[in-house]
Chains A and B, each alone.
Chain A
């Protein structure tokens, strides 16, 4: 792949990694050419760690999630390496991959309302996961497990007997989280799990999600564009722009000292309760993935762009331990 980027935990013993992604790419083949939705994404996560994948719409966040789940079908093409607990999921057969979903990687999607079958009660929908993975258990054992899962996500076990339309948005999202942890996955991918919820419910659902993640010991990728939520929840933040990770590092460092100009603008554009009526929007628009600017893809919107930014693609550099950026102007030494 075009870029090689070491990730925060890459120097550690690889067997401890829950997730190790190297040069992941996903291209959509269109009549107008290949759309590089994900272009050489590299990072890794240890058990229990959370990475926030942050970016505007069209930056490749969701495509990354779908590629990780191997849910992209032709004409999309996917490549690179995705090691979940040391096993490359791109080497699995279709049938093995089907089994790997929920046991290795579980997805919590954006609109929980659309993930549940409206004409089925909650209990059989959760129990379906067991039978689909060939887990044979009696009716009683299955019911007991469903109740446990519902309790784990702060729902009353009586919810099992309800239909999705009887539940509020937050409750439905909790049901989807209960399903995601049903088979103790190594990795949970949460794609804007709370963007459809009110602030109060969002906080409660996120607390539940963080707790169950800790309890099953899974790594998590949280996808979203709400910098506030990311600041509250994730350990590492990966900033995506036009299919590439432009900055990756510990979230606390990123907020205190954003390095990439795009990250800096994202952090500055946050409405704060301190300064009223001051809007700092990021000028310009996300580029079309079919017609990317030459050099650094962010250069047309970058307030600091210099000549070299318009012609040369930036390499990944190490700013500090576990903090990488792709920018000509910032960061210290060139990695590798």
Chain B
């Protein structure tokens, strides 16, 4: 009946302040929760500047929200101290984008695995520590003999990223925040990393927040998805529903931009004479829909007020006036944003 991780009415603004103008709003009044009972995989999708990485940093407690609160198991993470902070640090793990920067080039790969074992006192002896590291590596499909004792530069990007996943396995976390874990890895190796993450979810019941700009892989691994555009959630629902039948014009553009791995109706064979959707350096929109400058179906009212979330389909919300004939809802009422259990408990 409880949420593992919850982000409530969170806004994050960088810069700005007294006499310094408005600043740059990276996340604009976002709320969502991750179920504590049933492990899930939630994808957060959006282009650069949509606020994806800010979200990850907030959830990890690296930065504080300008307003609103981030809760871990019901506790405000900015107020968690001492032993429970250690606990939080252990249960919420991150796999970040760049497997090249995550390693200290002067230490062997073993260091990355031995550190958490030592810090959290996971092993009683050196042999046990080695055993644990080897088991963790095997879990992610690496051969310990080929991995331990090597320096980071001797491993491929895909192997390094899997070592990072192995590190999180050691700590038996409740949730892994994976921020673009495969974007710097060769396409042919992506599958192996996603496979390891999916396996952890299925076998060890770890929830995953998969932050990405790649809808292909989001579709492959996640159950739910939320699409961010300039700091706001524009669409959310089950990943099948959102990607197979996108409702918001932005999500529709995203889905149609994916290069399909087949040779029917190729880009090359399309009419290239008109430039298509020009990249717009859109000015800050005040009050209206943030997508208005790029939206092909923008209406006058889109500039007047921020569209609320409408139930475009069952359990599938879109923040767009195109669906204003549908039921208006809030993010908190959508099961993809807030697992159902929470609703039951709050209404009772």
| B279–A271 touching, CB < 8 Å | no
Complex Cα gap A252–B47 (Å): 30
| A232–B254 touching, CB < 8 Å | no
| B191–A200 touching, CB < 8 Å | no
Q: Judge if A132 is at the interface, Cβ distance under 8 Å.
A: no
| A271–B277 touching, CB < 8 Å | no
| A207–B276 touching, CB < 8 Å | yes
Most buried by A among B156, B253, B279: B279
Residues on B with C-beta less than 8 A from A211 are 272-273
- What string of 1s and 0s marks CB contacts (under 8 Å) between A22-58 and chain B? 0000000000000000000000000000100000111
- What string of 1s and 0s marks CB contacts (under 8 Å) between B217-261 and chain A? 101110000000000000000001001100000000110011111
- What string of 1s and 0s marks CB contacts (under 8 Å) between B179-206 and chain A? 0000000111111101100100000000
Complex Cα gap A204–B192 (Å): 30
Complex Cα gap A233–B261 (Å): 11
Contact for B279 among A201, A269, A277, CB less than 8 A: A201
Complex Cα gap A50–B267 (Å): 13
Q: Judge if B67 is at the interface, Cβ distance under 8 Å.
A: no
Sorting the interface of chain A by its residue count into under 10, 10 to 19, 20 to 34 or 35 or more gives: 35 or more
- What string of 1s and 0s marks CB contacts (under 8 Å) between A293-316 and chain B? 000000000000000000000000
The smallest beta-carbon distance between A314 and chain B, in angstroms, is 21
By the criterion of a CB under 8 Å from any partner CB, how many residues of chain B are at the interface? 47
Residues on A with C-beta less than 8 A from B340 are none
Most buried by B among A235, A271, A285: A271
| A202–B257 touching, CB < 8 Å | yes
With contacts A203-B267, A273-B243 taken as known, whether A226 is within 8 angstroms of B259 at the C-beta atoms is yes
| A171–B268 touching, CB < 8 Å | no
Contact for A232 among B188, B219, B244, B260, CB less than 8 A: B260
Contact for B254 among A57, A200, A225, CB less than 8 A: A200
Contact for A276 among B219, B272, B277, CB less than 8 A: B219
| B188–A225 touching, CB < 8 Å | yes
Q: Judge if A127 is at the interface, Cβ distance under 8 Å.
A: no
Residues of B159-194 whose CB lies within 8 A of A: 159, 186-192, 194
Contact for A233 among B192, B244, B258, B268, CB less than 8 A: B268
| A279–B195 touching, CB < 8 Å | yes
Residues of A196-215 whose CB lies within 8 A of B: 198-204, 206-208, 210-211, 214
Residue of B nearest to A226 (CB): B187
Contact for A281 among B191, B220, B260, CB less than 8 A: B191
- What string of 1s and 0s marks CB contacts (under 8 Å) between A227-262 and chain B? 111011111000000000000000110011000000
Contact for A199 among B156, B188, B257, CB less than 8 A: B257
Complex Cα gap A251–B187 (Å): 18
Residues of A124-169 whose CB lies within 8 A of B: 154, 168-169
- What string of 1s and 0s marks CB contacts (under 8 Å) between A168-212 and chain B? 111100000000000000000000000000111111101110110
Residue of B nearest to A251 (CB): B263
Complex Cα gap A242–B21 (Å): 55
| B259–A273 touching, CB < 8 Å | no
Contact for B216 among A225, A251, A255, A273, CB less than 8 A: A273
Complex Cα gap A56–B189 (Å): 9
Complex Cα gap A227–B216 (Å): 13
| A281–B192 touching, CB < 8 Å | yes
Complex Cα gap A256–B275 (Å): 30
Complex Cα gap A251–B190 (Å): 23
With contacts A56-B186, A281-B195 taken as known, whether A204 is within 8 angstroms of B279 at the C-beta atoms is yes
Contact for A255 among B188, B261, B273, B281, CB less than 8 A: B261
| A277–B216 touching, CB < 8 Å | no
Q: Judge if B262 is at the interface, Cβ distance under 8 Å.
A: yes
| B257–A203 touching, CB < 8 Å | yes
Complex Cα gap A266–B195 (Å): 16
| B261–A272 touching, CB < 8 Å | yes
The smallest beta-carbon distance between A17 and chain B, in angstroms, is 20
The smallest beta-carbon distance between B53 and chain A, in angstroms, is 13
Q: Judge if A100 is at the interface, Cβ distance under 8 Å.
A: no
Contact for A282 among B188, B214, B243, B262, CB less than 8 A: B188
Complex Cα gap A280–B189 (Å): 10
Residues on A with C-beta less than 8 A from B275 are 154, 204, 207-208
The smallest beta-carbon distance between A279 and chain B, in angstroms, is 4
The smallest beta-carbon distance between A328 and chain B, in angstroms, is 22
Q: Judge if B157 is at the interface, Cβ distance under 8 Å.
A: yes
| B191–A271 touching, CB < 8 Å | yes
Q: Judge if B48 is at the interface, Cβ distance under 8 Å.
A: yes
Complex Cα gap A129–B159 (Å): 42
| B259–A228 touching, CB < 8 Å | yes
With contacts A57-B157, A198-B48, A271-B219 taken as known, whether A280 is within 8 angstroms of B261 at the C-beta atoms is no
| B191–A280 touching, CB < 8 Å | yes
| B220–A279 touching, CB < 8 Å | yes
Complex Cα gap A199–B263 (Å): 18
Residues on B with C-beta less than 8 A from A267 are 261
Complex Cα gap A106–B45 (Å): 35
Q: Judge if A270 is at the interface, Cβ distance under 8 Å.
A: yes
Extra inter-chain contacts (11) besides given A50-B268, A154-B278, CB under 8 Å: A57-B156, A57-B186, A200-B254, A203-B257, A204-B279, A210-B272, A226-B187, A228-B261, A231-B259, A233-B267, A270-B261
Give chain B's interface residues, CB within 8 Å of chain A: 47-48, 156-157, 159, 186-192, 194-195, 198, 213-217, 219-221, 240, 243-244, 253-254, 257-263, 266-268, 270, 272-273, 275-279, 281
Q: List 28 A-B contacts (CB under 8 A).
A: A57-B186, A58-B156, A154-B279, A198-B213, A199-B254, A199-B257, A202-B257, A203-B257, A204-B278, A207-B276, A210-B268, A211-B272, A225-B187, A226-B259, A232-B260, A232-B266, A233-B259, A255-B261, A256-B263, A269-B188, A271-B219, A273-B219, A276-B219, A277-B198, A277-B220, A279-B191, A279-B195, A281-B191
Give chain A's interface residues, CB within 8 Å of chain B: 50, 56-58, 154, 168-171, 198-204, 206-208, 210-211, 214, 225-229, 231-235, 251-252, 255-256, 266-267, 269-273, 276-277, 279-282, 285-286
Closest 10 CB pairs of A and B: A281-B191, A228-B259, A279-B191, A154-B275, A198-B47, A211-B272, A228-B261, A232-B267, A203-B257, A270-B261
